[in-house]
Amino acid sequence: MLLTAPHRRLAVAALGVLLGHAAPAALAAPTLRYTLAMPAPQTHYFEVEMNLDGFNKAYTDVKMPVWAPGSYLIREFERNVEDFGATAGNQPLRTEKMDKNTWRIYHPKARNFAVRYKVYAYELSVRTSFIDASHGYVNGTSVFMYPAENKQLPSQLEVKPAAGWSQVSTSLKPAGGTFTYRSSNYDELADSPIEIGNQKIYTFTANGTPHTVAMYGDPVVDEQRLTRDMQRVCEEAHKVVDRNPLDRYVFIVHNIDRGTGGLEHLFSTTLSVSRNAYATEAGWKGYLGLVAHEYFHLWNVKRIRPVALGPFDYDKENYTRMLWLSEGGTEYFSNLIVQRAGFLTPDQYLGDLSNGINRVENTPGNKVQSAADASFDAWIKQYRPNENSGNTAISYYDKGEVILATLDLMVINATKGEKRLDDVMRYLYDQYYLKQGRGFTDQEYQDAVAKIAGQRFDEFFAKHVYGTEMLPYEQALGYAGLRLSITPTPATEADLGARISPAGGRQTVAGVTRDGSAWQGGLNVGDEILSLDGVRVTDDLNKLLAGRAVGSTIKVLVTREGRVQELSIPLLASAARRYRIERQPNPTAEQQRVFDKWLPVRS
């Protein structure tokens, strides 16, 4: 007789009872709980405990990431780990370090066990973690390990602040209990920084979403102006993509002697700001620009992203040729956001963009390295500059910004003022983030631009993104009734082509410009300059060359590696140019339409 599936299950169960065997109970799903303690913050150590329950293998590997997403450099966070150990109940378990960032815990008879370790944290930057007697800051990848085979496992985190600290600021969602939070997987935990201490808390609402500003460092700042202006920036940023991925957002702001920038996260950002930045209009606008940049990463990078930028491989480099879009494009949009929010006039914005063109076109490396190659080589060049970097590399921030500005004008013109790169970002968000749940390829980005513009720009990408040809500034700006004024350095004005550092009261060469006078004459980085044409040098050599004729030769006495030698240096004219965007008189109606679409004035 043929049994149906339900009858077969009943028969098997009955047989189990007859044979005296109960059916095996389903094994409980594994769970993961973290505890973060800091009993002696003045020693700069965080203490981490991981409780792993329901792990059924004979051993479990746990890993520490080697880098922080958003900062493309292998930082080797595992080097700060100490006192690693594991226990099951009160019994120690054998552990073994398998490679630089992997530890193995042997637990053949225990499904539940605890891992404990300490992390030395004394580097206050947006990319690392820090703790001292005044506050603690956790950047997840530099503190929290994860089970190598269970990166998608949800977890719970309990934070135990040091004595006297009353605040914990993070975008992680509360999980019940004091300072207890939950994350849906390790990526979320790693992407949710935590500020612990007695920071000042400000709040505002943008697009119906609560925003928190956690300020460390006691800056002198107008609270009402701070929250009002940040709200305006955030609301303007929302208009670009016109999609709200938020239910909460947290700004962690470190106010220190010298700010170092920001780093984006899934529902938050960390900003490092000079504490006196709020005292001047230039400093205030600089702060709002930083807010706009990191906030716009909510869309561009965290959700609108190249395929390489998530899910992350925390063990090694994650390569992409599109950081010119992810970072340079974010810089482009952030400056537009500040302008659209009314903090810059169109002419002030054009002045800032002119400065960007000057940075790109007066960097010799712009003719050597493409924007795509700068993106790919970020891991070995962007965060490891040396004295020759300006000759061999270009910033994908700077180059990306001017690429996007040029491309935006071309799209606006192609659509007669109907579409622009905002529409491209919206398309990418809907098509790849929402519909497909993934990033896009280089080709898919070009296809998206073509779809919105109604025409392809393959030659533009080949020459100016993947190649090093000069961007068609004049053509693109002309669409908006603008022109690019280019002023060369006078042919009679000699230029040494070297940066001089007065370190220690000595005039020392800090950099040499490719193909310039110093380059041709053999002046080296590290040379100490003693005299010019027999006269003792006590000031920057560049200042002493005023009035020297192009084509003449100077005699420079230097010390190099303890030896004195004389160099004959031919004086050449500077290759630098001054670039400035100017309005043309009497623009046509079509040009005015393009300009108004590009730089609308806040009503």
pLDDT in tens, 123-140: 999 999 999 999 999 999
Q: H/E element holding 254?
A: strand 249-256
Q: Can you tell me the mean pLDDT for 243-265? A: 97
pLDDT at 175 over 80: yes
Q: What residues contact 339, with CB distance under 8 A and at least 6 apart?
A: 345, 346, 348, 349, 599
Confidence of residue 4 (pLDDT cuts 50, 70, 90): very low
Summary mean pLDDT of the chain = 94
pLDDT in tens, 91-119: 999 999 999 999 999 999 999 999 999 99
Instruction: Work out the percent of the chain whose per-residue pLDDT is above 70.
Output: 95
CA dihedral 14, 18, 24, 26 (to 10 degrees): 20
Full set of structural domains in the chain with CATH: 31-198 (2.60.40.3650), 212-284 (no CATH), 299-489+584-603 (1.10.390.10), 494-573 (2.30.42.10)
Q: What's the confidence (pLDDT) of residue 489?
A: 85
Q: What's the confidence (pLDDT) of residue 364?
A: 97
pLDDT in tens, 505-531: 899 999 999 999 999 999 999 999 999
Q: What's the confidence (pLDDT) of residue 34?
A: 98
> Which has the minimum average pLDDT: 170-174, 259-263, 393-397, 500-504?
500-504
pLDDT at 85 over 80: yes
Q: What is the pTM of this model?
A: 0.93
| Encoded tokens for 341 | 């929010």
- Round to whole Å and give the CA distance between 118 and 128: 15
CA atoms within 13 A on the CB side of 476: 19
Q: What's the confidence (pLDDT) of residue 18?
A: 36
- Round to whole Å and give the CA distance between 350 and 357: 10
Q: What's the confidence (pLDDT) of residue 16?
A: 40
pLDDT at 543 over 90: no
Q: What's the confidence (pLDDT) of residue 376?
A: 98
- Round to whole Å and give the CA distance between 452 and 430: 13
pLDDT at 304 over 70: yes
pLDDT in tens, 18-71: 333 444 445 679 999 999 999 999 999 999 999 999 999 999 999 999 999 999
Measuring CA to CA, which residue among 455, 443, 441, 447 is closest to residue 412? Answer: 455
- Round to whole Å and give the CA distance between 175 and 178: 9
Q: What's the confidence (pLDDT) of residue 504?
A: 79
Q: What's the confidence (pLDDT) of residue 13?
A: 40
